[in-house]
Structure 1
């Protein structure tokens, strides 16, 4: 099993911070596959926070397919950053996703498409984000069915919309959110995995002080980056650009995979 993940912050694992890095659902899927198969899985993660869908399905996808030896499994999620920008072209996003599907099919690589979880309940202009996300999810589900590609729909997951699964920025999943996504992907791949659920509890109240701090610490920096035409992922590369061995044990629970273990 050689598994490569491509995408943006959702796939990079932002929000599931461990040590000096982030882990995330794709790392957990790699570890879950190793445990289920009882053998070491080779894993690469080329996802970079802030990336739009076009560079994901061109630059990242081509780098993934160029890995030696070739991957046997590839996951793709993207379009979330596009959908938060003015003039988002949903038809173009669907076309880019279909290009990636056709490219993987031609290369003989099994593909899994994912829709990101729906963050709209906690975001400014959440209705716009939800409407675009729902439309993109519907389009991706349709093309996945048309091409007989496995599709994991996290956008429609009602449980993960609870605030308990989200980071303080309300845009990225926390550790519990990433664990829930990982369990869903592993189950979809045919490996028995119980859905991760946070115990029910009251939603934390949002006072005006809480909201003021949220806008100061998260919304305004995001707006400044947009105005400057910059991204949180500028000058960043994928965290595991080469095949990295993931053993069939639980070391991932306490720390991310050591990149120094990457195979040559």
Structure 2
């Protein structure tokens, strides 16, 4: 029996940041792969192409071509947060890239897994004027992912809100990545979608952690090293623009015209979706 091929595309969430295993990372997709098949003689070939820091451009230009060559039965595409954290953010471009990626995998017959994601400003606990622009961007990305997931018949995980997302025990010290317990929740919820669709026949991943949670000392070391480096990169790239957006946010609040910002964002999403057309991908060798 041919192995079930599962390819995961995305950024640090899918790469497994927050879920260390040995000298590397595991993550929700690897946990999910273990529960996809229980039939005698059926194995799962899992390939994780996700890379920390990836944006939709990286998925389109690098990860998708590699994934298509593997001709997967199942492909997960969970991406978009890093796009919202860049000064180059443009919802039209994000929508066009995702449309091409979704079309390519479903065009090969793969089942597509997608997810909308929480607002990074709220997760980081930023002040309202700073969090507002990021929330608006993430809502725009989520709206695009919702629409395209329906268009291409994807199995979509609503991971942008819900009580489970507010449980701090599920998140790492950086407040943006799940810890092992959180990755397991993502895996279990995706598994439920696949089981309902008749595509997962193995048992769901356990919700209980396999490894002890990082110590407070380890968490502080991360914040002082990788966490600080991440903050410096974002400050260099996004902060000047974010401060301008925050000033605009405060002006609209003072005038009572904040609804105009939401209407403008909604109009941009509608225009981006209306402009899409299916792009034919060359069949990979």
User: Do the two structures share a fold, i.e. TM-score over 0.5?
Assistant: yes
The question of whether the paired residues in 1 share the 8 Å contact of 2:106 and 2:152 is answered with no
Structure-to-structure mapping, 1:1-264, within 5 angstroms: 1-35=4-38, 37=39, 39-67=42-70, 70-123=71-124, 124=126, 125-190=130-195, 191=200, 193=204, 196=207, 217=225, 220-226=228-234
Provide closer, same or farther for how the CA distance between residues 159 and 65 of structure 1 changes in structure 2, counting only shifts above 3 A.
Answer: same
Deviating more after overlay: 213-222 vs 9-18: 213-222
Question: Could you tell me how far 1:220 is from its partner in structure 2?
Answer: 3.5
Question: Could you tell me how far 1:118 is from its partner in structure 2?
Answer: 4.4
Provide closer, same or farther for how the CA distance between residues 164 and 131 of structure 1 changes in structure 2, counting only shifts above 3 A.
Answer: farther
The question of whether the paired residues in 1 share the 8 Å contact of 2:114 and 2:156 is answered with yes
User: What's the secondary structure of 2:34's corresponding residue?
Assistant: helix
Task: State the alpha-carbon separation in 1 of the partners of residues 122 and 114 from structure 2.
Answer: 23
Task: State the alpha-carbon separation in 2 of the partners of residues 197 and 43 from structure 1.
Answer: 22
Task: State the alpha-carbon separation in 2 of the partners of residues 213 and 194 from structure 1.
Answer: 30
Provide closer, same or farther for how the CA distance between residues 179 and 4 of structure 1 changes in structure 2, counting only shifts above 3 A.
Answer: same
Deviation sequence 1:1-46 (CA, Å, 0-9, x none): 11010111010011011211111100011001134x4532111111
Task: State the alpha-carbon separation in 1 of the partners of residues 145 and 10 from structure 2.
Answer: 15
User: What's the secondary structure of 2:142's corresponding residue?
Assistant: helix
RMSD: 2.7
More helix by share: 2
- Residue matched to 1:249: none
Provide closer, same or farther for how the CA distance between residues 22 and 66 of structure 1 changes in structure 2, counting only shifts above 3 A.
Answer: same
User: What's the secondary structure of 2:160's corresponding residue?
Assistant: coil
Provide closer, same or farther for how the CA distance between residues 98 and 16 of structure 1 changes in structure 2, counting only shifts above 3 A.
Answer: same
Which is greater in Rg? 2
Provide closer, same or farther for how the CA distance between residues 41 and 214 of structure 1 changes in structure 2, counting only shifts above 3 A.
Answer: closer
Provide closer, same or farther for how the CA distance between residues 128 and 174 of structure 1 changes in structure 2, counting only shifts above 3 A.
Answer: farther
Q: TM-score of the superposition, structure 2-length normalised?
A: 0.67
Provide closer, same or farther for how the CA distance between residues 131 and 62 of structure 1 changes in structure 2, counting only shifts above 3 A.
Answer: same
Task: State the alpha-carbon separation in 1 of the partners of residues 221 and 5 from structure 2.
Answer: 43
The question of whether the paired residues in 2 share the 8 Å contact of 1:13 and 1:23 is answered with yes
User: What's the secondary structure of 1:114's corresponding residue?
Assistant: strand
Q: How many residues align?
A: 213
Task: State the alpha-carbon separation in 2 of the partners of residues 60 and 139 from structure 1.
Answer: 20
The question of whether the paired residues in 2 share the 8 Å contact of 1:121 and 1:161 is answered with no
Give the structure, 1 or 2, with the largest relative contact order (CA under 8 Å, sep 6 or more). 1
Deviation sequence 1:128-154 (CA, Å, 0-9, x none): 333322221122111211222221121
Question: Could you tell me how far 1:57 is from its partner in structure 2?
Answer: 2.0
- Misfit runs of 4+, over 4 Å: 191-198, 212-219, 226-229
Provide closer, same or farther for how the CA distance between residues 50 and 20 of structure 1 changes in structure 2, counting only shifts above 3 A.
Answer: same
The question of whether the paired residues in 2 share the 8 Å contact of 1:118 and 1:154 is answered with no
